[in-house]
Amino acid sequence: MTAPLERCSAWQRLVAQAAAPPPTMEALFAAESERFQRHSLALDDVLVDVSRHPVAEQTWTDLFQLASERDLSGAIERLFTGAIVNESEGRAALHTALREPPELAAQGAGIEVATAVQQQLERMASLVERLRSGQLHGYDGRPLQDVVNIGIGGSECGVTMAYEALAATVEQPLRLHTVAAVDGRELSAVWQQIDPATTLFVVASKSFTTQETLTNARTAWQWLEQAAGRPVPEQFVGVSADEQAMADFGIPEAQRLQIWDWVGGRYSLPSAVGFPVAATLGMAPFCELLRGMHAMDRHFRESPWANNIPVRLGLLGLWEFSLGGACGHAVLPYHPGLRRFPAYLQQLDMESLGKSVTQSGEAVTVPSGAILWGEVGGNAQHSFFQWLHQGTGRVIVELLAPVDEAECPEAHRGLTLANALGQAEALARGQRPDPAAPAAAHRHYTGNRPVTLVLFRRLDPYTLGQLIALHEHRVFVQAHLWGINPFDQWGVELGKQLAKGLVPLVRGEAALDTSSDPATRGVLTWVRAGMGE
Ligand code: F6P
């Protein structure tokens, strides 16, 4: 048993340091000529620079000490070797096994898991091959050429994000459409863009009980049946941990892909949930994505704290959110392909860390998981950067930018990186105009805002895999230090249950009586009375 956070001696020293005014960026760089070298870490072509976090050397020493006192290495080993790290659901969290080369299985989750993973990958590869070589046909005999993913949350976010990030990097991607919302509007919009006879539908749901996904899947099934004049099971692939539910839905055995209870939804992109990405972009890019993830897994498992990128970022999260007064994490990719990356990280981070109790059910006594949001960096500069630079709130600002712009028109080259670097400098250094100058108070920038800069050569599958795994492990580190279970999500259940019960009332099929919530009753009474009429 490791000591809880508050009883660690390193934590007590950190609390004392946080009570003092933070060191200024000028003072930190003046005191350490090697500060950038010591606090910028590279893995392959990814460079993560945390030198612009206002964290003194002694604080770093105590943060590393805290990681050791909390037995972070033991926790990492338990994660990789399949221990029950998700205690409230009694499950392992073996997403790292999904990208582990088979020959390393003995050091990871074990042979049984590795064999199951390989079997599913082979199954996936064979379906992908048949689809991409034109051997999968629709009901009128033409080859399938559009893919529609029907899924939500972890069964959608990663797929959309990866496709948007990588479609431009491969030749002749098939078209991917994703449908998540329950209202049917998204589905109708997709229906306008596809030919039913040449479309493959992927129904992705770990539980195969999710209302949104099953409602959309049934509608798609009926539409296809109507268009073909007969049921068309051969145009459906299923991805789920519930084989029987896929069978009951009507998905043919050869088109059912399996995931397992030890793959969390928001960690499931490298499993068969990633099938639509492999199907539309090809198996080779998908395998590169897995290779990039595995490179980050190894780095995380093997590197000492000072060189360990996810550990460094996790420690900074703890320092800023628990002790530094930060309330959020802005993710700002300077690459339009990463448009959906903040939304992807939002689920990963906030569904994992948005908890007020520890694994053992005790109250979390320090501020923990924060708000994560973001936008493409250039767009955000003309929107909410004002708040980042001069607002009274404090957030970790993460800027991600590619260095290689060979594919960009010449007149555009260098502008992106210059903007990312300029913003990093402004946030960290600030500006103190002469008090006598006009509007001096308005042109004053406090600086000292915590900045993480992530540079990479280019956005390719390997790099994207590294970036995803980096954040998965960063979240794991924060969760472990706070004692939180990052792999359950009990907080999403209540609203879903209430919504189910409300359907007959909203549809006007049941009477509004006094047993219903007074505010809900008020709203529905207003709706039933014709609203503004
Ligand atoms: O409601 C939240 C959630 O359970 C997520 O954790 C999950 O990724 C999503 O719903 C979809 O679940 P499923 O894959 O079981 O349909």
**Average pLDDT estimate for 510-530:** 93
CA distances from 28 to 18, 355, 449 (A): 16, 34, 13
Q: Tell me the CATH architecture of domain 95-286.
A: 3-Layer(aba) Sandwich (3.40)
C-beta of 206 in contact with ligand 1 (< 6 A): yes
Longest dimension (CA), the chain: 80
H helix and E strand count, the chain? 21, 11
Contact by Cβ (8 Å): 384, 375: yes
Tokens for 338, please give them.
Answer: 């990463």
Confidence band (pLDDT; 50, 70, 90) for 106?
confident
Q: Is the dihedral of CA 17, 424, 347, 283 positive or negative?
A: negative
Question: How far is it, in rounded angstroms, from Cα 365 to Cα 6?
Answer: 9
Query: Looking at residue 361, what DSSP letter applies?
Result: S
- SS3 call for 201: strand
Confidence band (pLDDT; 50, 70, 90) for 1?
low
For residue 236, give the amino acid letter: F
- End-to-end Cα spacing for the chain: 64
- SS3 call for 340: coil
Confidence band (pLDDT; 50, 70, 90) for 102?
confident
Tokens for 44, please give them.
Answer: 């392959």
Query: Looking at residue 22, what DSSP letter applies?
Result: P
Number of other CB atoms surrounding residue 249 within 10 Å = 20
Contact by Cβ (8 Å): 202, 237: yes
Query: Looking at residue 414, what DSSP letter applies?
Result: T
Q: Is 495 exposed, middle or buried (0-12, 13-18, 19+ CB in 10 A)?
A: exposed
pLDDT in tens, 174-219: 999 999 999 999 999 999 999 999 999 999 999 999 999 999 999 9
Confidence band (pLDDT; 50, 70, 90) for 98?
very high
Residue of 103, 253, 382, 410 with catalytic role: 382
> Which of 95, 149, 152 is the best mutation target for the ligand 1 pocket, counting ligand atoms within 8 Å of the beta carbon and taking the most?
152
Contact by Cβ (8 Å): 202, 276: yes
Contact by Cβ (8 Å): 376, 342: no
**Atom from ligand 1 closest to the CA of residue 204:** 14
Mean pLDDT over the full length of the chain: 97
The Å distance, Cα 264 to ligand 1 centre, comes to 9
The Å distance, Cα 194 to ligand 1 centre, comes to 26
Q: What is the pLDDT of residue 382?
A: 98
C-beta of 213 in contact with ligand 1 (< 6 A): yes
Alpha helix (H) ranges present in 194-308? 211-228, 243-249, 275-281, 283-302
**Equal CATH topology for 5-69+303-432+442-488 and 95-286:** yes
Is 496 an active-site residue?
A: yes
For residue 394, give the amino acid letter: R
Supply the CATH classification number for the domain 5-69+303-432+442-488. 3.40.50.10490
pTM: 0.97
Query: Looking at residue 193, what DSSP letter applies?
Result: H
**Atom from ligand 1 closest to the CA of residue 240:** 14
Q: Where are the domains of the chain?
A: 5-69+303-432+442-488, 95-286, 491-528
For residue 263, give the amino acid letter: V
